[in-house]
Amino acid sequence: EIVLTQSPGTLSLSPGERAALSCRASQDININYLVWYQQKPGQAPRVLIFGASNRATGIPDRFSGSGSGTDFTLTISRLEPEDFAVYYCQQYGDSLTFGGGTKVEIK
């Protein structure tokens, strides 16, 4: 089973700042099957990025995904108030696993 490790566990930032969230895999991942989600309390996960770097429909361009192999990054270029949430990475190329999540909180 591929283990996904997200870091940091919590990111404390102010609106307007840049956020960089890491997702590291225990072995190489097919980038076509790497997804980033945003989740707010009481809501289902929302797809932000699929295929490691493709924004889903309606996702603002301040969100970007990058990476390959075992190291992937979700970047939020300038945090807006609605971006404070929990973010998960997921791979489904080899079974299906999720990272433990990164909480982006207001500093």
Q: Which of 34, 50, 67, 74 binds other proteins (CB under 8 A)?
A: 50
Dump strand ranges (E) for the chain: 4-7, 10-13, 19-25, 34-39, 46-50, 54-55, 63-68, 71-76, 86-91, 97-98, 102-106
Does residue 59 interact with other proteins by CB under 8 A?
A: no
Least CB distance to other proteins at residue 92 (A): 5
Least CB distance to other proteins at residue 16 (A): 28
Q: Report the site for other proteins in 7-46 (rule: CB under 8 A).
A: 33, 35, 43-45
Give 54: exposed, middle or buried? Use CB within 10 Å, 0-12, 13-18, 19+: middle
Residue numbers of the site for other proteins (CB under 8 A)?
Answer: 33, 35, 43-45, 47, 50-51, 54, 56-57, 88, 90, 92, 95-101
